[in-house]
Amino acid sequence: MPFFRNGLRRSVGACSSAWTSPSRIPASPNWTRRCIHFDGRNRLSNFWSPTLRKPKGDRSNQNVEIDGHELLLRAGFLRQSASGIFHLLPLGLRVQDKIEKLIDKHMTRLGASKTSLSSLSSEDLWRQSGRLDGRDSEFFRLQDRKEARFLLSPTHEEEITKIVADAVHSYKDLPLRLYQITRKYRDEARPRQGLLRGREFVMKDLYTFDTTESQARETYEAVRQAYVAFLTDLRLPYLVANADSGNMGGKLSHEYHFASDRGEDTIIGCDTCDYSVNEELFIAPLDKAPSPPVADDAPSMPTKAGFFFAVSKDRRKLLWATQPAQDVFDFNIHALKEIFPENDTSFDGSDYKAVMDAWISGAEEDGEPRTRYLLVDSRNEGMEGFFEQWKNVTSLPGPDGKEVPVSSEVLPSEIDGKPVLLTKARDDDPCPSCEQGKLKLQQATEIGHTFHLGTRYSQPMQLQVLDANNKQVSVSMGCHGIGVSRLIGAIATLLADKEGLGWPMAIAPFEAVLISTPNVNKADVESLYDQIHNAAVDMTIDDRDRAMGWKLNDADLVGYPFVVVMGRAWADKKALELQCRRLGIKEEVQAADVVSRITELSQRL
């Protein structure tokens, strides 16, 4: 055995440590428990995957909800550092690396160049774009020794826009497509569901830059197709829905989801046509419903079901919204957000007194007249008399008994030619698109989003180029995200069963694991590994000093797509047992056929 400097010797296949001192070799046989191999083969003896015991009292046959996040912890994919903050361990990192490589493939085909922007972003840039105000609670903020203000970036629109604005000045430099896969930070008020909603997360961001609006929309469609191709490679069912752009800006937006009963989004789709929208965008011409009962002689004191109340943050505006009976429909708060964006969401919309007191008290403070609006669901009929009474009210009593001047207006029941609907969609409602099918509601977990931004950032941040007519124009932008760490949590939840995790072939930590009984010749194990691995199957050997049953249970927990067993059949007739839990397959195959069988079955994974 060769010796090196300082009396250390390196042992190929050595146990306990690859580096040992000849004078300090322990006498106890326990030192041989962990072995390190240097033959280049993937071996679980080399690979750190600390598993956890089942929670106390857990029984596999109990009728309990399967928690994908708990399985990620138990199987040794990750550990929690703090609320909403997680460390990826080797198994988890292998999954993340494969997701990133798959993203790289599709971004390269799209003609995008990869970048890596700093996690620190100047508050001045966010103030310039107008996104700092009102979002302070979402940021991790800090300042340096010179009192310059920074934040840990939750996204990078401001930074990438500044970089491009400094470097690109002509339409000849466009189109430009830049992407990165980096850590992001958001001070979530309620981190939950593990990697699905954390305070630190990994995301892919693609930023696109085009000279004209029409070119930007062509780019947007190309990105959408790239997202579809990426999700198709995962071979998992997914949903694509029209969506709200939120504070990102722009009107053209799509979300990409996995259907999940634990999802926080609701996707509304048609069982006949391809209509699919996020609940936040739902508008539909449903059947007429009876108006809620209203006392004609007391229009300012609505005590009956059928009203929702809102007050603006500056306390100058009050909104009454009518809707069909509340015991039948749920109020659509997303519709209200579109119509009355200044709504103070801290109030319960059913608490008339609290909302009215806030509105009137605001008038007492500054003495300015107040405005109240009546918004009527398009399905409510026979309210003309109430409208007239509403509009005739010019003052209301304040807290001190004094009259407060008010103006009263009735808002139209259509916006941009579409009916105002203040209730949520329900299963089997008619489809507003084809008018033939029925709507179906599905809980879902968002894993990606595409936004057409237009000039939302380029205008305030002065990203302009000279066009072909030598005229300065603002660049049309898009931003497109995929939640990389979120995908890990979403897929774990989607494919988990009572035995453990499950992974698509494209991102599994290893595509197959080889397990053998102790009496199988090690040379045979290594020869079979080489045969399968050389056929481009990402394989590992479970050569740990554990019982056969423990290894098989661990393989189920980790969720390898394939388990290859060299057991009794190998000793009897040189045959293998091939297991695929997701497909419900456990079969005997000859060693010569195992690669072709794995290749065949993998097309379904």
User: In this predicted model, what pLDDT tens digit does every residue of 470-512 receive, in sequence order?
Assistant: 999 999 999 999 999 999 999 999 999 999 999 999 999 999 9
Instruction: Kindly state the DSSP code that residue 355 receives in the 8-state scheme.
Output: H
- Can you tell me the mean pLDDT for 555-571? 95
1 band by pLDDT with thresholds 50, 70 and 90: very low
Distance of alpha carbon 513 from its chain centroid, rounded?
30
Q: Is the pLDDT of residue 55 over 60?
A: no
Q: Is the pLDDT of residue 519 over 70?
A: yes
Share of the chain above pLDDT 90, in %: 54
Per-residue model confidence (pLDDT) at position 39? 84
Q: Is the pLDDT of residue 422 over 90?
A: no
Single-letter code of the amino acid located at 6:
N
- Can you tell me the mean pLDDT for 274-292? 60
CB atoms within 10 A of CB 400: 8
4 band by pLDDT with thresholds 50, 70 and 90: very low
Per-residue model confidence (pLDDT) at position 359? 80
Are 97-283+439-489 and 505-605 the same fold in CATH? Answer: no
Q: The tokens of 319 are what? A: 């909104």
Give the span between the Cα atoms of 504 and 604, in whole angstroms. Answer: 9
Q: Which of the pair, 292 or 395, is modelled with greater confidence?
A: 395
Per-residue model confidence (pLDDT) at position 265? 86
Tell me which of 200-204, 258-262, 469-473, 518-522 is least confident: 258-262
- Can you tell me the mean pLDDT for 306-327? 75
Tell me which of 254-263, 310-319, 416-425, 450-459 is least confident: 416-425
Q: Which of the pair, 241 or 425, is modelled with greater confidence?
A: 241
Residue-by-residue DSSP string for 7-69: G-EE-TT-BS-SEE-TT---SSGGGGSSB---SS--BTTTS-----PPPTT--TTS-----HH
Per-residue model confidence (pLDDT) at position 17? 38
Q: Is the pLDDT of residue 384 over 90?
A: no
Answer yes or no: are the C-beta atoms of 243 and 225 closer than 8 Å.
no
Per-residue model confidence (pLDDT) at position 130? 87
Q: Is the pLDDT of residue 437 over 50?
A: yes
- Can you tell me the mean pLDDT for 402-411? 79
Give the span between the Cα atoms of 464 and 569, in whole angstroms. Answer: 70
Q: What SS3 state is found at 152?
A: strand
Answer yes or no: are the C-beta atoms of 184 and 173 closer than 8 Å.
no
Closest listed residue to residue 164, CA positions, set 117, 227, 200, 222: 117
Q: What are the angstrom distances between the C-alpha of 286 and each of 340, 379, 432, 441?
A: 22, 8, 8, 16
134 band by pLDDT with thresholds 50, 70 and 90: low
Q: Which of the pair, 340 or 526, is modelled with greater confidence?
A: 526
Residues 6+ apart with CB under 8 A from 66: 496, 497, 498
**H helix and E strand count, the chain:** 13, 30
Per-residue model confidence (pLDDT) at position 405? 80
Q: What is the pLDDT of residues 323-338, one digit of tens each?
A: 665 545 677 777 777 7
383 band by pLDDT with thresholds 50, 70 and 90: low
Per-domain boundaries in the chain: 97-283+439-489, 307-418, 505-605
Q: Which of the pair, 359 or 209, is modelled with greater confidence?
A: 209
Per-residue model confidence (pLDDT) at position 432? 77
Per-residue model confidence (pLDDT) at position 291? 38
Residue 61 backbone dihedrals phi, psi, to 5 degrees: -95, 5
Q: Look-up: residue for tokens 């997303």?
A: 334
Give the span between the Cα atoms of 266 and 442, in whole angstroms. Answer: 6
Per-residue model confidence (pLDDT) at position 5? 39
Q: Which residues pair with 430 in a beta bridge?
A: 438
Tell me which of 317-331, 395-409, 417-431, 559-573 is least confident: 317-331
Q: Look-up: residue for tokens 């694991």?
A: 513
**Whether CATH 3.40.50.620 fits 505-605:** no
Give the span between the Cα atoms of 573 and 161, in whole angstroms. Answer: 65
Answer yes or no: are the C-beta atoms of 439 and 431 closer than 8 Å.
yes
CA-derived radius of gyration, the chain:
31
The model carries a pTM of 0.81
Tell me which of 59-73, 460-474, 476-490 is least confident: 59-73
232 band by pLDDT with thresholds 50, 70 and 90: very high
Burial 288-327 (b: 16+ CB within 10 A, else e): ebebbebeeeebeebeeebbbbbbbeebbbbbbbbbbebe
- What is the dihedral sign for C-alpha 548, 551, 555, 557? positive
Share of the chain above pLDDT 70, in %: 80
- Can you tell me the mean pLDDT for 117-145? 88
Q: What is the pLDDT of residues 161-182, one digit of tens each?
A: 999 999 999 999 999 999 999 9
Mean confidence (pLDDT) of the chain: 83
Q: Which of the pair, 351 or 326, is modelled with greater confidence?
A: 351
Q: Is the pLDDT of residue 301 over 70?
A: no
Q: Which CATH class is domain 97-283+439-489?
A: alpha beta
Residue-level length of the chain:
605
Give the span between the Cα atoms of 284 and 149, in whole angstroms. Answer: 46
